[in-house]
Structure 1
Amino acid sequence: MSTLGSVLTLACDDEMFALPVERVQEILDLRPITRLPNAPPHLLGMIDVRGSGVAVADLRAMLGMAPTADTEMSRIVVLWVQTEGRRTVVSFRADRVIEVTALDNDDLEELPVAGLFNWRDRMIAGIGRRHGAIVTVLDMDRIFAGLAPELSVA
């Protein structure tokens, strides 16, 4: 069990996710994304963020969810991750950002079903609750570590 402070909550479909707010650099409205030739499906392309090229991943694709059309609520979350011993700025597109908040309890629960189904839970830091509803807390370092070769930006 680990402890978590403030989180950014976001959603894809009706599923609620969270990540530590201290990782978030900024939240952007959708903007044009420059596609990259032969990019894997989870890599949407690149955007310019204050003069730096930042890779944009598709959170839905990374979580194994079906694609959907963007809406006026879709956002790009720019954050930093620690991969291969260095801090890298990356971003992902989410269906919507909900709020910066605290979970009902700072202690995260471990994923109880991981060992039962031989399921790879590398993306999940733990389970929390917000107003009694389950919130999946994402481990952004591990999510992007698996994508590091495709998202490598100097």
Structure 2
Amino acid sequence: MTSADTVVTFGIGKADFALPVAPVVEILDARDISPLPRAPAHLLGLIDRRGASVPVVDLRRLLGQPDADDTDRTRIIVLRLVGRGAGAQHVGLRVDQVTEVTQLDDAGSEPLAEAELLRWHERMVAGIGRREERFVTMLDVDGLFDGDLRDLVNEGGVQ
């Protein structure tokens, strides 16, 4: 497995998603999140990660899915985003469960333009792949955190 082809697969409800492993710093168990006043609904608040404040985004809310309570399988995927100007920023994505670090079947994912699916989230989706006979939506990290959301994350947390 090369790191360029390696992904972290995870679930939101009954849907399977993946992110490239390169920006993943670590995967944490669910923990208390300190809310931020007047933050948008998808920005849950901050967690402490080794003395640094890390903003946490609820991927369910970001993708327009209904809320769900945390379970013993809920995880926070900490990502390293390369920021505009100030350098790298860490952000957490709350997901229902992390499945595995693996490669997608058949050499990765099909570009979204060819898949003709999920047009309403096109900026967030890099493509559609398969893993063990299931569809996996490959998310675009830059698309998830572009524009206003990246600015909110940069304001919400400190490296």
TM-score with structure 1 setting the length: 0.89
Q: Say whether the 8 Å CA contact 2:5–2:108 is kept in structure 1.
A: no
Counterpart contact for 1:82–1:141, Cα < 8 Å: no
User: 2:93 — aligned with what?
Assistant: 92
Q: Greater CA deviation, 44-53 or 77-86?
A: 77-86
Superposition pairs of residues 1-154 of structure 1, within 5 angstroms:
5-84=5-84, 86-111=87-112, 112-113=115-116, 119-146=120-147, 147-152=149-154, 153-154=157-158
**CA deviation digits over 1:109-152, x for unaligned, max 9?**
112225xx863400001111101211000001111124112111
Letter in structure 2 aligned against 1:26: E
Distance 1:107 1:10 in 2: 16
| TM-score, with length taken from structure 2 | 0.87
The answer on whether the counterparts of 1:7 and 1:18 sit within 8 Å (CA) in structure 2 is: yes
* Alignment RMSD (CA, Å): 1.7
User: Residues 77 and 95 of structure 2 are in contact (CA less than 8 Å); yes or no, is this contact kept in structure 1?
Assistant: yes
Q: Which sections of structure 1, spanning at least 5 residues, go unmatched?
A: none
Report how many residues are paired.
149
> How far apart are 1:67 and its partner, in Å?
0.6
Normalized per residue, the structure richer in helix is: 2
Amino acid at match of 1:113: E
Q: Secondary structure at the match of 2:67?
A: coil
Q: Offset at 1:108?
A: 2.0
